């Protein structure tokens, strides 16, 4: 199967895998467009299964690099609800069109971004009626279940996790470590479901293994950059990539 790939497929998927590695290695957000690059390189449904092992390779690197920085309280706030959403996405996978999934996720991501910008504006004015919302259990349940559906049908849960961890105010290293464990657990949970759907198989694993090398390379490079980024700059970069991902999903 590798011999049948065109140079365009190599380029798109290679860049997408490297960006995943950068994202997993400590630059959250830069990998948000990777599902779109894989979907452009391969058939949309097939790309979901091809991308998952690449994500897991990056997850393993992230967990090894940032395992001590996780806030487990927030990991377990999201993971059970994400698992529930993953099961829902598994049931819906054969019924949702690619365009419908992308539009739903894109609108949700941009809507949450607008909500967070409004919160910042209200906080500066000295009154934020929704100040306690990010810490509420219903908020984590909505984010978690929605992210679970998104990650099952399109590997697009990254922006949801990023919005949640930004909203609750996690500092940079806790943000990275908590996200690393959260997505590692969820991506492992998805594997047997995607095998059952037939989008992960012996042929796809061979292709994924090659691009996983690009992901590992990106994960090893990322920590060198993370050390030089200030907290405020870090947050701005994450929000930038979240917005880009939402717009790309709507326009793709």
> Per-residue pLDDT tens for 53-70?
999 999 999 999 898 899
Distances from the Cα of 76 to the Cα of 20, 71, 73, angstroms: 23, 9, 6
In this prediction, residue 140 has a pLDDT band, given cuts at 50, 70 and 90, of confident
Question: Residue 228 above 90 pLDDT?
Answer: no
pLDDT of res. 78 = 93
Q: Please state, in angstroms and rounded to a whole number, the distance separating the CA atoms of residues 70 and 85.
A: 22
Q: Please state, in angstroms and rounded to a whole number, the distance separating the CA atoms of residues 195 and 184.
A: 17
Indicate the range of 3-12, 122-131, 178-187, 238-247 predicted with least confidence.
122-131
Q: Give 236 or 169, the one with higher predicted confidence.
A: 169
Q: What is the mean pLDDT of residues 114-128?
A: 64
Looking up tokens 């679970």, which residue turns up? Answer: 148
* Cβ contacts of 90 within 8 Å, gap of 6 or more: 152, 193, 196, 197
What is the residue extent of each domain of the chain?
2-251
pLDDT of res. 169 = 82
Q: Give 127 or 38, the one with higher predicted confidence.
A: 38
Question: Residue 145 above 70 pLDDT?
Answer: yes
Question: Residue 114 above 80 pLDDT?
Answer: no
Q: Please state, in angstroms and rounded to a whole number, the distance separating the CA atoms of residues 216 and 59.
A: 9
Q: What is the mean pLDDT of residues 164-178?
A: 86
In this prediction, residue 123 has a pLDDT band, given cuts at 50, 70 and 90, of low
In this prediction, residue 193 has a pLDDT band, given cuts at 50, 70 and 90, of very high
Q: How many CA atoms lie within 13 A of 179 on its CB side?
A: 30
Q: Please state, in angstroms and rounded to a whole number, the distance separating the CA atoms of residues 247 and 144.
A: 21
pLDDT of res. 94 = 81
Q: Please state, in angstroms and rounded to a whole number, the distance separating the CA atoms of residues 124 and 135.
A: 19
Neighbours of 43 (CB within 10 A): 11
- Is 87 buried (19+), middle (13-18) or exposed (0-12) by CB count in 10 A? middle
Q: How big, in percent rounded to 5, are the helix, strand and coil portions of the chain?
A: 80, 0, 20
């Amino acid at each position: 199967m590798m011999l049948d790939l065109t140079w365009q497929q190599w380029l798109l998927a290679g860049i997408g895998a490297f960006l995943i590695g950068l994202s997993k290695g400590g630059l959250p957000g830069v990998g948000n467009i990777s599902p779109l690059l894989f979907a452009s390189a391969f058939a949309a449904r097939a790309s979901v299964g091809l991308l998952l092992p690449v994500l897991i390779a990056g997850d393993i690197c992230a967990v090894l690099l940032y395992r001590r920085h996780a806030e487990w309280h927030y990991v377990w706030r999201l993971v059970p609800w994400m698992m529930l959403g993953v099961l829902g996405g598994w049931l819906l996978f054969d019924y949702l069109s690619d365009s419908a999934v992308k539009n739903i996720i894109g609108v949700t991501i941009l809507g949450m971004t607008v909500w967070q910008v409004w919160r910042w504006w209200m906080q500066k004015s000295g009154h934020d009626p929704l100040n306690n919302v990010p810490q509420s259990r219903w908020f984590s349940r909505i984010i978690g279940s929605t992210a679970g559906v998104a990650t099952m049908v399109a590997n697009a849960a990254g922006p949801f996790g990023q919005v949640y961890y930004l909203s609750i105010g996690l500092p940079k290293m806790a943000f990275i470590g908590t996200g690393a464990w959260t997505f590692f657990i969820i991506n492992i949970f998805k594997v047997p479901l995607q095998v059952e759907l037939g989008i992960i198989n012996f042929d796809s694993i061979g292709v994924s293994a090659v691009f996983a090398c690009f992901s590992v390379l990106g994960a090893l490079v990322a920590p060198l950059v993370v050390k030089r980024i200030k907290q405020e700059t870090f947050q701005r970069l994450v929000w930038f990539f979240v917005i880009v991902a939402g717009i790309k999903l709507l326009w793709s």
